[in-house]
Amino acid sequence: MPVAVEFAESPAKSLRVGPGFSLASVDPSATPGYSGAKADGKSLLAAQDARLTELQEKLFAEGKFGSNKRLLLILQAMDTAGKGGIVGHVVGAMDPQGVQLKAFKAPTDEEKSHDFLWRVEKEAPAAGMVGVFDRSHYEDVLIHRVHGWADAEELERRYAAINDFESRLVQQGTTIVKVMLNISQNEQKKRLLARLDDPSKHWKYSRGDLVERAFWDDYMDAYNTAFEKTSTDIAPWHVVPANKKWYARIAVQQLLLDALEGLSLEWPKADFDVATERALVEQS
From first CA to last CA, the distance across the chain in angstroms is 43
Please say whether the beta carbons of 269 and 210 come within 8 A: no
Residues 86-115 as x/- pattern, contact with its own copies by CB under 8 A: -xx--xx--xxx-x-x-x------------
Backbone conformation region of residue 101, classed left if phi is above 0, alpha if psi is from -120 to 50, else beta? beta
Return d(Cα 97, Cα 60) in angstroms, integer. 9
Interface with its own copies, residue 156, by CB under 8 A: no
Q: What H or E segment, with its residue span, contains residue 237?
A: strand 237-241
Count of residues that bind its own copies according to CB under 8 A: 43
* Candidate list 13, 64, 105, 168; residue touching its own copies; CB under 8 A: 64
Interface with its own copies, residue 264, by CB under 8 A: no
CB nearer to its own copies: pick between 65 and 159: 65
* Candidate list 148, 152, 214, 264; residue touching its own copies; CB under 8 A: 214
For 202, list phi and psi in degrees, rounded to 5: -55, -35
Interface with its own copies, residue 152, by CB under 8 A: no
Report 1-60 residues binding its own copies (CB under 8 A).
none
210 alpha carbon, distance to own chain's centre: 24
Smallest separation (angstroms) from its own copies to the CB of 167: 28
CA Rg value for the chain: 20
CB nearer to its own copies: pick between 97 and 113: 97
* Candidate list 84, 107, 173, 236; residue touching its own copies; CB under 8 A: 84
Residues 108-147 as x/- pattern, contact with its own copies by CB under 8 A: ------------------------x-x-------------
DSSP state of 216: H
Burial class (CB in 10 A: 0-12, 13-18, 19+), 183: buried
CB nearer to its own copies: pick between 33 and 98: 98
Nearest-5° Cα angle at 119, 118 to 124: 100
* Candidate list 5, 30, 61, 117; residue touching its own copies; CB under 8 A: 61
CA-to-CA dists, residue 124 to 63, 66, 177, 237, angstroms: 15, 17, 13, 18
CB nearer to its own copies: pick between 173 and 268: 268
Smallest separation (angstroms) from its own copies to the CB of 172: 21
Neighbouring CB atoms inside 10 A of 151's CB total 11
SS3 at position 151: coil
22 alpha carbon, distance to own chain's centre: 20
CB nearer to its own copies: pick between 156 and 217: 217
Please say whether the beta carbons of 60 and 127 come within 8 A: no
CB nearer to its own copies: pick between 113 and 200: 200
Residues 176-205 as x/- pattern, contact with its own copies by CB under 8 A: -------------x--xx--xx-xx-xxxx
Please say whether the beta carbons of 213 and 79 come within 8 A: yes
Interface with its own copies, residue 280, by CB under 8 A: yes
Report 220-259 residues binding its own copies (CB under 8 A).
none
Please say whether the beta carbons of 119 and 101 come within 8 A: no
Residues in the site for its own copies, rule: CB under 8 A?
A: 61, 64-65, 84, 87-88, 91-92, 95-97, 99, 101, 103, 132, 134, 189, 192-193, 196-197, 199-200, 202-205, 207, 210, 213-214, 267-270, 272, 274, 277-278, 280-282, 284
